[in-house]
Structure formats: structure tokens, C-alpha cells
């Protein structure tokens, strides 16, 4: 979803209860997860007031070991790379203060991590340089923590900006074999919608 202008119709991520709708789990044409658990995500359209910033889902790690969307006013943007930068900056700022009961969203990277140069190649691969003066390498953590830290960025960009096909992560200007010892970041990273679960 790429906001083109403020106001108008945008696509928001909404929580849909399988029990209320009485429908069975399936997989849609985009390959997004529609599993038979209590929470699934689907797209609906609503109208925003004229002049309002479009709301888009920013994906943050939650305490259940997955990513949850938090709707934030981002944009509009005029090109894919500008949109990616706005989205990455939102991820680095961390979630808002309106966490719902029973759901704790956390920032995927430590404070002080900033966005450096980005570059969108002709092959639709976005190079993202994360910069930190406090950490010469990405912070070490468990494999699941590392996975969610990386895909908070990757899924937020790729699921909102369809013109970008993959992300290449750099840390302080270097592309590392693994992000922090577990996840292979030597190759372009593509979206993983299976990590996303709607908020309770």
C-alpha cells in the first residue's frame, strides 16, 4: 500500500475474528497467512478526513514471539524510497504509548540506532544502512529476537511499499554475514508475512 496523497481511501490492517465471521482458514492470493487461530489479518477500506495523513501498519515485536501491526500516520510519500525512509524511521522510533491491554509491543533495536543512507537499486532491492555510535555491531540476542528485530524493518517496508522487492541490511556501512550471529543477512531479505499476527 503506497499512500499517494493525503486523505482519500487507504487500506488499513484490521483484526477479524474467525469465530464471528464463521469462516475457515485459507491462504489468499498474496500468500499471507490466514490460519485457523483466533486472530487473522485482512484488509478493509475506510475513508480518511481530507488532509489527514494515511495510516499504515508498522510491525513491532510482541511478547508472543511474532510481529504485531500498530497503525501510525505516515506520509504521504512521493516515491518508494521516500516511503521506505519514513517507515524505517517509524520502526526505529518504536511503538506508541497506546498499547492495548494484554499486548506489549517493543522497539526492535536499541535507542541510538539511526537510519543512514538508503539506496533503491534498479532490481528493486533497497539498501538500508543502520548507524549506531554506541554499537559497532548489531546487539546480540537470541535467534527469535534477532529474527523479529530484522523483520520488523523488512516486513514494514516490503508489505507497505510493493515497488520494493527485497531489503539488504547494512550496519555502520557494512553488510554482515549474519545480523548478530543467527540470521543470514548476506543475501537480500524478502517479506515474511507468516511472522505477522494481528493484535489481540
The pLDDT score that the predictor gives to residue 123 is 97
Domain annotation covers residue 68: yes
Number of domains in the chain: 1
Domain annotation covers residue 32: no
Domain annotation covers residue 112: yes
- Dist CA 165 CA 149 (whole Å): 19
Domain annotation covers residue 86: yes
List the beta bridge partners of residue 11.
45
Q: What percent of the chain is predicted at pLDDT more than 90?
A: 60
List the beta bridge partners of residue 15.
41
Average pLDDT, the chain: 79
Domain annotation covers residue 81: yes
The pLDDT score that the predictor gives to residue 198 is 73
pLDDT in tens, 120-153: 999 999 999 999 988 888 887 899 999 999 999 9
Domain annotation covers residue 148: yes
- Dist CA 13 CA 32 (whole Å): 12
- Dist CA 6 CA 19 (whole Å): 35
Q: Which domain holds residue 161?
A: 56-195
pLDDT in tens, 155-169: 999 999 999 999 999
Tell whether the model's pLDDT for residue 113 goes beyond 90. yes
Domain annotation covers residue 63: yes
Distances (CA, A) of 181 to 75, 131, 140, 196: 34, 18, 7, 23
* Pairing state between β 67-73 and 114-120: unpaired
Amino acid at each position: 500500500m503506497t499512500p499517494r496523497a493525503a486523505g482519500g481511501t487507504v487500506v488499513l490492517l484490521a483484526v477479524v475474528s474467525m469465530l464471528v465471521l464463521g469462516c475457515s482458514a485459507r491462504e489468499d492470493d498474496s500468500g499471507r497467512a490466514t490460519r485457523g487461530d483466533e486472530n487473522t489479518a485482512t484488509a478493509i477500506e475506510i475513508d480518511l478526513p481530507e488532509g489527514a495523513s494515511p495510516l499504515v501498519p508498522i510491525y513491532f515485536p510482541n511478547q508472543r514471539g511474532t510481529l504485531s501491526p500498530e497503525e501510525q500516520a505516515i506520509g504521504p510519500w512521493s516515491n518508494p524510497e521516500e516511503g521506505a525512509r519514513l517507515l524505517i524511521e517509524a520502526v526505529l522510533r518504536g511503538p506508541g504509548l497506546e498499547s492495548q491491554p494484554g499486548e506489549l509491543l517493543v522497539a526492535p533495536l536499541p535507542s541510538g540506532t539511526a537510519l543512514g543512507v538508503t539506496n533503491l537499486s534498479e532490481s528493486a532491492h533497497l539498501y538500508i544502512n543502520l548507524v549506531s555510535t554506541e554499537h559497532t555491531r548489531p546487539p546480540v540476542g537470541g535467534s527469535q529476537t534477532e529474527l523479529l528485530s530484522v523483520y520488523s524493518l523488512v516486513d514494514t517496508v516490503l508489505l507497505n511499499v510493493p515497488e520494493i522487492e527485497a531489503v539488504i541490511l547494512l550496519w555502520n556501512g557494512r553488510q554482515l554475514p549474519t545480523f548478530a550471529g543467527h540470521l543470514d543477512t548476506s543475501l537480500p531479505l524478502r517479506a515474511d508475512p507468516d511472522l505477522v499476527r494481528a493484535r489481540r
